[in-house]
Amino acid sequence: MTKTFISVLLFYLVIGWEVAAQPQKKMVEVQVAPTREGWIYETGDRVEFEVRILKNGQPLSNTEIRYQTGLEKMPPEKEGTMNLKNGIGTIKGGTLDEPGFLRCEVWVEYQGVTYHDWGTAGFDPEEIDPTVEMPADFDEFWRSAKEELATWPIDAKLTLQPDLSTGEINVYHVDLQNVRTSWRGNSRFYGMLSVPKAPGKYPAILNVPGAGVRSYGRDDRAARGVIVFKIGIHGVPVNLPDEVYRSLGAGALSGYQNFNLNDRDLYYYKRVYMGCVRAIDFIFSLPEFDGETLAVTGGSQGGALSIITAGLDDRVKYLAAYYPALSDVTGYLAGRAGGWPHMFMEYDRKKYPDWVETVGYYDVVNFAKKLTATGWYSWGFNDHVCPPTSMYAAYNAITAPKELHKFLETEHWTFPEQRVQGDDWLFEKLGVKSSK
């Protein structure tokens, strides 16, 4: 079973984006990295990748490796084998003549087990332009959708969860009225609300989810003096037994990312995006909310929804987005990597002629252009699920205040220190005590 397969499998199966595809220690470790500090090159520069094969922390002598280099998610441009006499070697990766990312993947077999890793070099990544087009009526489309949502009452139903509440936090299961759709009728939106028990007015965090379907519980960040509303996106209560979500994920909600992608008005994510706006409506209705200080955060699909929600609703003042999905998904049509869920990787235009038009209304890039909220962003260069080319295409479109925190070797996971940095940035902006 390859490292890529395991990472992607864990991404879909684990509960919550926070622990998605965390790395696992193996008997033999393959390390691949560009030789230049910072992993950044200018177009035309030539990159070399250092390879180390380790066992018990020491180089493994006389190791035969197989390697390939090329653009992320694209067919390899160069393949070969090499013997590492001392367990350490260098692979010439070539160059790029336009901004993008060049990846080197290495495989080694030891005692019948195949080990795999990769490293990725960026070439002028801050010059990467998006490929997705901005529809002429983008603003009107979403203005109309929000106006329709506003015609429906919030109709919030809160149910206290005594088993999840603590001496400092009250936890509620929340049921909201979302926008109604012709194909779903009365649509609801669900989440789990954590509120400090002490009387007062508090800032709030809207926590948006990674891909999949799951339950949610208490968020202990509320003990620091902040309201946290963690939402699901599927119109399913978020306090059901886990077997319900496993059944939905393998059945009715399998592949939801492409549901009705042929129609901009019926595409699955329209109801999701409006649900995120409705979640903000709900937060602003809370008597404990300070009425102003709101942030949104999440990773992967949640990173995308953080940018999208802030782009749709200027009531969001701050956002922290980790490896955002749904970014520049049309990259494949221009011969480079596109963002998750990779619907254009093997695209059949004759079979799905309307997909390109529809995604223009939903791609993170076009919401990034609308941002006014101050943002903290973070990802790594080795992400196979959300390729850095796609994420930079969105990041480079942002004109609002922004800062990017690169954790180069991470794939579709975060270091604990990375998460602490993101949370501390949010807490500072929200005016609440940090973790230190």
Query: 67-79: per-residue pLDDT in tens?
Result: 999 999 999 999 9
Strand ranges inside 95-243, DSSP E: 100-110, 113-123, 157-160, 169-177, 188-196, 202-207, 227-231
pLDDT at 268: 96
Give the HSE-up count for residue 74: Cα atoms under 13 Å, Cβ half-sphere. Answer: 21
Alpha-carbon gap, residue 433 to 436, rounded angstroms? 8
Task: Give the pLDDT confidence of 137-157 residue by residue, as tens digits.
Answer: 999 999 999 999 999 999 999
- Short-list 201, 209, 225, CA closest to 217: 209
Task: Give the pLDDT confidence of 243-279 residue by residue, as tens digits.
Answer: 999 999 999 999 999 999 999 999 999 999 999 999 9
For 357, the enclosing helix (H) or strand (E) is: helix 355-359
Task: Give the pLDDT confidence of 403-426 residue by residue, as tens digits.
Answer: 999 999 999 999 999 999 999 999
The answer to whether the beta carbons of residues 204 and 283 sit under 8 Å apart is yes
pLDDT at residue 287 tops 50: yes
Alpha-carbon gap, residue 246 to 237, rounded angstroms? 14
pLDDT at residue 101 tops 90: yes
The residue type of 54 is L
Among 143-147, 301-305, 348-352, 364-368, name the one with the lowest average pLDDT. Answer: 348-352
Q: Are strands 100-110 and 63-71 parallel, antiparallel or unpaired?
A: antiparallel
The full set of domains in the chain, from first to last, is: 3-127 (2.60.40.1930), 138-430 (3.40.50.1820)
For 129, the enclosing helix (H) or strand (E) is: none
CB atoms inside a 10 Å sphere around CB 44:
11
For residue 379, name the pLDDT band (cuts at 50, 70, 90).
very high
In the beta sheet, which residues pair with residue 34?
49
pLDDT at 338: 98
185 contact partners, CB below 8 Å, separation of at least 6: none
Alpha-carbon gap, residue 192 to 174, rounded angstroms? 6
Mean pLDDT of the region 9-34: 66
Q: How far is CA 225 from the centre of its chain?
A: 26
Average pLDDT taken over every residue of the chain: 93
pLDDT at residue 18 tops 70: no
pLDDT at residue 2 tops 70: no
Alpha-carbon gap, residue 427 to 416, rounded angstroms? 16
For residue 8, name the pLDDT band (cuts at 50, 70, 90).
very low
With 0-12 / 13-18 / 19 or more C-beta atoms within 10 angstroms meaning exposed / middle / buried, residue 397 is: buried
- Short-list 159, 174, 220, 225, CA closest to 197: 225
pLDDT at residue 3 tops 70: no
The answer to whether the beta carbons of residues 385 and 338 sit under 8 Å apart is no
Q: What separation in angstroms does the CA of 105 have from each of 108, 170, 188, 329? A: 10, 48, 45, 23
Alpha-carbon gap, residue 71 to 69, rounded angstroms? 7
Task: Give the pLDDT confidence of 169-224 residue by residue, as tens digits.
Answer: 999 999 999 997 655 567 999 999 999 999 999 999 999 999 999 999 999 999 99
Helix segments in 186-300, DSSP class H: 242-250, 268-285
Q: What separation in angstroms does the CA of 15 have from each of 21, 281, 382, 407? A: 11, 27, 22, 23
At 58, give phi and psi (nearest 5°): -115, 145
Coil, strand or helix at 240: coil
Tell me what percent of the residues of the chain surpass a pLDDT of 70: 93
In the beta sheet, which residues pair with residue 172?
160, 193
- Short-list 89, 91, 87, 82, CA closest to 58: 87
For residue 21, name the pLDDT band (cuts at 50, 70, 90).
low
**The residue to which tokens 């864990």 are assigned:** 10
130 contact partners, CB below 8 Å, separation of at least 6: 328, 363, 365, 393, 394, 396, 397
26 contact partners, CB below 8 Å, separation of at least 6: 115
Rg (CA), the chain: 22
**The residue to which tokens 């496993």 are assigned:** 246
Give catalytic residue positions: 300, 383, 412
In the beta sheet, which residues pair with residue 405?
378
Alpha-carbon gap, residue 398 to 236, rounded angstroms? 33
Tell me what percent of the residues of the chain surpass a pLDDT of 90: 91
**The residue to which tokens 């795999």 are assigned:** 116
Write out the two tokens for 225.
């003096």
pLDDT at residue 27 tops 90: yes
Strand ranges inside 347-394, DSSP E: 374-379
pLDDT at residue 11 tops 60: no
Write out the two tokens for 93.
């990766």
